[in-house]
A and B are shown apart, each in its own frame.
Chain A
Amino acid sequence: MNFITRFQLPLAIDRAAFLDKLGEHFGLTTEDEQSEVRTYTDCFDWRLYKSGFACYATSKKCVLEDLESGEVTTSFSCRKPPRFKEELPEEGAWPAVADAMEMRALLPLVTLRVNHAEYAVRNEDRKAVVRMAVREEYPEGEAAAARCSVYLKPMRGYESEFAALSGYLQTEGLTPKENAGHKKMFRRMGYDPGTYSSKVNVKLSPEMRTDEAARVIFKQLIGVMRVNMDGLRQDLDTEFLHDFRVSVRRTRSALSQIKGIFDDSFTRKAKDDFGYVGRLTNFMRDADVYLLARDAYLSMVPEHRRKGVDAFFQHLRRRRVTERKRMLAEMDSERFNKVLDDWEAFLDSPLPEKPAGPDGGRPVLAQASKFIRKRYRQVIQDGLAIDDATPDEELHELRIDCKKLRYLLEFFISLYPTDKMKLLIGNLKKLQENLGDFNDLCVQAETLQHYLDKIPAGRVGRGEVHISIGFLMGVLYSRQLEVRRQFHEKFTQFAGEENRLLFAELFGAKKTGGSH
């Protein structure tokens, strides 16, 4: 039932006392009483919240609500709360939820006890004239923190009775409230919705010392690694590991690209350390990438060939179990923890008055522009050298250069006009997608080749595995050719006039010697 008017019961007024008192003035009958425990869920990075949804599960059902109004959008019956999008129904608003979630898991956030009672307010003929609901909610086990709302719904033909009751409630100290929705509820429960993002988001000022700016960037990156560790260890979904790795990679990239800020041997050691941290997770990520794309792979081969391809995934899944144990053991090792702890201790230590590296004391804006300029030039130079006869390896080189350029743009985005930076990053992204697809297809072909004789054939049979995987490799190869054919067009676009002018405008060397 949709109640239109909501009143907040003051904390000082007890629910039972309120009902007793109301009963002295109005005839009241209880029509319905329900009590349930709701566990609100969302993805680690608040994907439902960001899409305007709130979702909770009880022991019987899973309900989707509108974040703003708190009104129910849709629901479905389920005994166990859904974790992945595959467990959601393919109807109503659920596909939109699934699209927002992608590969992320729904994790429990807040557990609320909700006591909901509906009443009819009746006249002297015992005719219902106003519908009323009283809803009490509190974190399970903390009844003292209960918040109570009274909702009224007018009935057609009994408008004056409705006005009389809502007037009475206000004289009793109840205040009319907008529908609260859930934004406030999450905050009350100690959450800060929408804050986590794996993106680099640091605010730098142009005159900051470059070594200080680098510390700010590094701090954010290690922060992202730390917050993902728990979910990564528990394997809640694949993205904890992914975000962790991306931050490790960015850290290494920053160490090699933001030059001249630390002592050389220190920088070298830090790069080695994070190289070790990154390598620990390599197998897991590769396996995740394949397993996430399992359906896509299976659909590339005819139905009767799928058993052979699936044997590969089964093998991968088993190996992932053993490799995960190995990774977790290593993450408990002294070495691993020392790397992260020492790095954090360094970042928290006071900035030395005299920079350790020769360029550490320079203002960050000029240094950033110099790094970006240099990397951009290299991307253009390498890209122009690529033609149809160029070996694949050189495209991979270019891919890595582009990635480095992308990281630089993202590290230093706050130093430049946001809209232009976003445009530039968007343009770069289009080229990166082409190069990324090409690389993925090459790596996939190699991986399948590598596994061909290691996959236990089992009941499917060795011959069948070979034929199926061979078929798949054929499909992948033709895609690889197609992607490479598109490279030239994508690169020409990126290297074009628009970007060249943008790069010059944003990062061009400052002219000295006054105006002209």
Chain B
Amino acid sequence: MKILAIYNIKGGVGKTVTAVNLAHLAASQGFRTLVCDLDPQSATTFYFRVKPKAKVKSLIEGGKFLDRYIKETDYPGLDLLPADFSFRNLDIAFAETPKPNKRLRATLKGVRDDYDLVLLDCPPNLTKLTENVFHAADYLVHPTIPTTLSTRTLIRLVEFFRDEGLDERRILPFFSMVEKRKSLHRELMASLPREMPGFLQTPVPYLSEIERMGVYREPATAFKGQKYAARVYGALWEELCQRVGLTENT
């Protein structure tokens, strides 16, 4: 079982759509996939048409407390742990456990026989919860808008990893919400990967098709007729699979 976190300290960078689309692609290729919506805003949960319901206990205790809240989505092989407004208290709950940074890792161990892949959709901040994510995830997929502020948050994250003795090679940034007509976007996309060799090479452009996910409440990769987003995320997923060593299930 591989655990991938979709993470950025900043909000509005395309984390949720990345989590939803990649999860759908993974499941459609036969990977038994679980998406955990850790963000109390519960956007991922909304896209999958599930009602927010899970309790904090599900992630702290795991086992039957986790099992009880997992929902099957409309897509074969894809399950969801829905977020809940109570997840705003996850930080405090994690802090109160005996090993406050490694609790999530232990919880997810409990489902390693059930899934090939777990995707964590993380809230935008740097708290006890996100530290748990850093320890639990094998890789952090980092949607990065090619802007100065976004670049700064990425650099901050790398520094944090260094300070904490975490392996920064586990951070896999890719360019998100790219607008090629903006010269700043073009410049940063040329320079940043030179400084950070771990950058994934597939950029995801800003697409109105992706915004429509909120209207249809389904992954853009599952849209009928519109295939551009599916192609873009397909390429990103393929590159990601190679990078993290996920081989297709038969």
A residues apposed to B, CB below 8 Å: 1, 120, 125-128, 155-158
Contacts and interface: CB of A to CB of B under 8 A. Distances in A.
Contact of A156 (B48, B49, B70, B217): B70
Given A120-B74, A156-B79, A127 B49 contact: yes
Contacts of A156: 70-72, 79
Contact of A157 (B49, B70, B76): B70
Interface string B76-110: 10010000000000000000000000000000000
Contacts of B243: none
Contacts of A127: 48-50, 74
A125 B49 contact: yes
B69 interface: yes
B152 to A, nearest CB: 39
24 contacts: A1-B76, A125-B49, A125-B50, A125-B51, A125-B217, A126-B49, A126-B217, A127-B48, A127-B49, A127-B50, A127-B74, A128-B74, A155-B71, A155-B72, A156-B70, A156-B71, A156-B72, A156-B79, A157-B50, A157-B69, A157-B70, A157-B71, A158-B71, A158-B72
Interface in B32-83: 48-51, 69-72, 74, 76, 79
Contacts of A157: 50, 69-72
Nearest to A31: B74
Given A120-B74, A126-B217, A157-B50, 9 more contacts: A125-B49, A125-B50, A127-B49, A127-B74, A128-B74, A155-B71, A156-B72, A157-B70, A158-B71
Listed from nearest, the 7 A-B pairs whose CB atoms lie closest are: A157-B71, A127-B49, A156-B72, A155-B72, A128-B74, A125-B49, A157-B72
A11 B71 CA distance: 36
Contacts of A1: 76
Contacts, number: 26
Nearest to B79: A156
Nearest to A157: B71
A125 to B, nearest CB: 5
Contacts of A120: 74
Nearest to B81: A157
Contacts of A125: 49-51, 217
Nearest to A126: B49
Nearest to B53: A157
B72 to A, nearest CB: 4
Contacts of B69: 157
A128 B75 CA distance: 9
B229 to A, nearest CB: 20
Nearest to A155: B72
A128 B76 CA distance: 11
Contacts of B72: 155-158
A128 B74 CA distance: 6
Contacts of B51: 125
B42 to A, nearest CB: 13
Interface string B135-170: 000000000000000000000000000000000000
B203 to A, nearest CB: 32
A119 to B, nearest CB: 12
B76 to A, nearest CB: 8
Nearest to B74: A128
Contacts of A126: 49, 217
A485 to B, nearest CB: 51
Nearest to B80: A157
Contacts of B70: 156-157
A62 to B, nearest CB: 21
| Most chain A CB atoms below 10 A, which of B50, B51, B74, B76 | B74
B67 to A, nearest CB: 9
Nearest to B218: A126
Nearest to B68: A157
B173 to A, nearest CB: 33
A127 B71 CA distance: 11
Contacts of B71: 155-158
Nearest to B51: A125
B74 to A, nearest CB: 4
A321 to B, nearest CB: 46
Contacts of B79: 156
A70 B75 CA distance: 25
B63 to A, nearest CB: 16
A157 B69 CA distance: 7
A366 B117 CA distance: 77
Contacts of A128: 74
A121 to B, nearest CB: 11
Contacts of B74: 120, 127-128
A128 B217 CA distance: 12
A128 to B, nearest CB: 4
A132 to B, nearest CB: 14
Nearest to B75: A128
Query: Which of B70, B71, B72, B217 has the most chain A CB atoms inside 10 A of its CB?
Result: B72
Interface centre among A120, A128, A155, A157 (most CB of B within 10 A): A157
A311 B43 CA distance: 75
A405 to B, nearest CB: 56
Contacts of A158: 71-72
A506 B51 CA distance: 78
Contacts of B49: 125-127
Contacts of A155: 71-72
Contacts of B48: 127
Nearest to B76: A1
Interface in B212-230: 217
A170 B86 CA distance: 39
A307 to B, nearest CB: 41
Nearest to A120: B74
Nearest to A127: B49
Nearest to A1: B76
A155 B74 CA distance: 9
Which of A127, A128, A158 has the most chain B CB atoms closer than 10 A to its own CB? Answer: A127
A127 B70 CA distance: 15
A126 B218 CA distance: 11
A155 B75 CA distance: 11
A120 B76 CA distance: 12
